[in-house]
Structure 1
Amino acid sequence: MDTHLAVRARGVTKSFGDVVALDGIDLDVAQGRIHGLVGPNGAGKTTALGLLLGLAVADSGTLEILGSPLGRGLAAPGGVGGFVDGPGLYPSLTARQNLAAVAALRGRGARTGGVDDVLAEVGLTDVADDRVRGFSLGMRQRLGLAAALLTEPRLLLLDEPSNGLDPAGKKHVHGVLTRLAADGVAVVLSSHRMDDLEALCSDVTILATGRVVFSGPVSKLAAEDRALDYRLRTPDPQAARRIASGTAGIRVVDETGGAARTDSEVLVVRALVAALDELVAALVRAGVAVRELAPVVSPLEAAFLALTEQQEATR
């Protein structure tokens, strides 16, 4: 196995009765990277995470984690932490007691003296002695992350870690994951939040109907070869419209979900990145101020929709 890979899967399949959850997928996850696992409901994301956590066994194919091939038994591989379908917690216990129980179950592999450290790391020190039954969904997600951190994982697997997080909680979790990756930990996270994935992930794998339809750097999905709708905010939308209409490769569009009709400063244009660069240059030359230029739908979300819809159409 490549020593720089935390996960190497080749031709992995998994079925549940007549339902094919994973259909011969390949997956590489590099150490020190945050890798996003994306797909519509039923695409196979949770099944893939379950295999990596040792909660299920593949029907066929090869799967190597942290340099070692997975056996046929159900067991969490050493150096792997995380959760699927939400963290398993004891609602009648406090946050600190939950983590102490995890440390006791993990034995030597856990930071038995680090309960307070991981509570601080995920921002739950102030509620350490509160019972988990009163926690919000976001607080439970952060406590689940703290439990995973107790094992000092080299591969961290998280299923929808941003569920229920308020902006402060999301910032806290993003900071933790970024620091872990900087320290060489491989992080795999499944999420429907495209903004989270674009903010965090260096690589992404898109699944549809149990198959990989894309896997690689997020930058390769950045709309270099497909036109996207961009929201252009300017104090002179009439001049901007005139310039956009005269720029090759730019089309002014009205399918904006109402944004252009309710905001007199907003113009929506459809363009490739190269044409967009030309438009900005032309606006600057004409002295038209640009207050905002952003995709209406993120490049990752646009690619996700295009790739998954194409896969569905070929079934």
Structure 2
Amino acid sequence: MDGDRPGAVRARGITKTFGDVVALDGIALDVAPGRIHGLVGPNGAGKTTLLGLLLGLAVADSGSLEILGAPVGRALAAPEGVAGFVDGPGLYPSLTARQNLAALATLHGRDAKGPAIDDALARTGLTDVADDRTRGFSLGMRQRLGLAAALLTEPRLLVLDEPANGLDPAGKRHVHQVLTELAADGTSVVLSSHRMDDVEALCSEVTILATGRVVYSGPLSELATDRQELDYRLVTSDPAAARRVAADVPELRLVGDPATLVVRARVPALDDLVTRLVKAGVALRELAPVVSPLEAAFLALTDRSPVGAEAQEGRS
């Protein structure tokens, strides 16, 4: 953790059951101040349950949970400084975006007519629809308004469930910018997402859940190592010549559709291929992993489809 500052989240041995269903099974989680921590896993892995515990919407059956340095032992007891939403933000559909925020500000004893509301609307890109009733808002607009509502409380821990859900590129850009700025100012963010590109763009750390258990928790960078074998798609000036060159590279395999040049290799073998292509006079126009390092780790650690070009069909 950062110096003498308490961790934003410290969980040990957290379990939670619903009848015969074990939603969380011995969960450990650490989130440092000023970090954006990603929470990923298949449907039913326990992500929403864990987020609910962080927001004080439920209490664990066993284990210890500290949030912002304070122990949490009962429902609806999250300490001051925690904000966010699970399963989408709760809004009053008959009120406008501005009125929704004003109502929330009043509930929290804050100024319902001050500049904070305009600032929250502007930061989330909702100024132009501030006086529209939320009944007609799209999913993405509701998500952004939920984030604006959380900003009103000036949180030290922000907990978000699929914050980029339904966002267009402009909306996603607004949300990414807000979260990055919050982290830079010392706010901790825990977010769940099915979009690996969002997690990779935002998060420095990630926890991967499967069947209620942590299968990986740590820096995102450790999931992408030279030892990890991935599939890479290449676009070159001469596909036939590139395929012949690739066939001679040790510890590298051609995979996938013969019409597309896809190779399976670790980073050293991939570097060897690039060097050989240059020497052969073949221009390399594009080189990208078929599956990102995070998604590859997700698939492997959660025992999903095999990683590679043939794994593309049926991914979610």
TM-score of the aligned structures, taking structure 2 as reference length: 0.92
Q: 1:137 is aligned with what amino acid?
A: L
CA distance in 2, matches of 1:44, 1:73: 18
* CA positional deviation for 1:286: 2.3
Contact between 2:70 and 2:79, CA under 8 Å: does it hold in 1? Answer: no
Match of 2:246 among 244, 247, 257: 244
Within 2, Cα distance between the matches of 1:251 and 1:80?
49
CA deviation after TM superposition for structure 1 residue 277, in Å:
1.4
Question: SS where residue 77 of structure 1 aligns?
Answer: coil
For residue 298 of structure 1, report the CA deviation from its aligned partner.
Answer: 1.1
1:192 aligned partner, one-letter code = H
SS at match of 1:114: helix
Asked if the contact 1:154–1:186 (Cα under 8 Å) also holds between the matched residues in 2, the reply is yes
SS of the counterpart of 2:8? strand
Name the CA distance, whole Å, in 1 between partners of 2:79 and 2:271: 48
Q: Which residue of 2 aligns with 1:38?
A: 40
**8 Å Cα contact 1:205-1:214 kept in structure 2:** yes
Match of 1:268 among 243, 258, 262: 262
Task: Give the RMSD, CA atoms, in angstroms.
Answer: 1.7
Deviations, residues 126-163 of structure 1 (Å, cap 9, x unaligned): 00000000110000000000000000001100000111
Contact persistence 1:8–1:28 (CA under 8 A): yes
**Partner SS, residue 309 of structure 1:** coil
Distance across 2 between alignment mates of 1:288 and 1:193: 34
Instruction: Provide the rounded CA distance (Å) in 1 between the counterparts of 2:125 and 2:46.
Output: 31
Secondary structure of the residue that 1:291 maps to in structure 2?
strand
Hey, what's the Cα distance between the residues in 2 that align with 1:65 and 1:290?
49
Select the residue among 268, 273, 278 that pairs with 1:284.
278
Query: Equivalents in 2 of 1:67, 1:150: separation in Å?
Result: 22
Structure 1: unaligned runs, 5 residues or longer: 311-315
Q: What aligned pairs does 1:21-60 form with structure 2 within 5 A after superposition?
A: 21-60=23-62
Q: What amino acid does structure 1 have at the position aligned with 2:287?
A: L
The one-letter amino acid paired with 1:114 is: A
| Matching residue's letter, 2:286 | E
Work out the CA distance in 1 between the residues paired with 2:218 and 2:83: 23
| 1:163 pairs with one of 162, 165, 168 | 165
Could you tell me which residue of structure 2 aligns to residue 226 of structure 1? 228
Q: 1:10 aligns with which of 4, 9, 12?
A: 12
Distance in 2 (alpha carbons) for counterparts of 1:280 and 1:61 = 51
Q: 1:110 Cα shift?
A: 9.1
Tell me if structure 2 keeps the 8 A contact 1:111–1:150.
no
Match of 1:297 in 2: 291
Q: How many residues align?
A: 302
The verdict on how the C-alpha distance between 1:109 and 1:281 changes in structure 2, with shifts beyond 3 A counting, is farther
Quick one: distance in 2 between partners of 1:109 and 1:273? 55
Residues 103 and 112 in structure 1, CA contact (< 8 A), matched pair in contact too: no
The partner residue of 2:129 within 127, 130, 145 is: 127
- In structure 2, distance between residues paired with 1:174 and 1:284: 37
CA shift, 1:73, in A, is 4.1
The 5-angstrom pairing of residues 39-118 of structure 1 reads 39-108=41-110, 113-118=115-120
- Paired AA for residue 129 in structure 2: V
Q: CA deviation at 1:111?
A: 9.6
* 1:109/1:151 contact within 8 Å kept: no
1:271 maps to a residue whose letter is: A
Deviations 1:228-282, CA, capped at 9 Å, x for gaps? 1100010111121111111111111125xxxx63xxxx41100111211111122
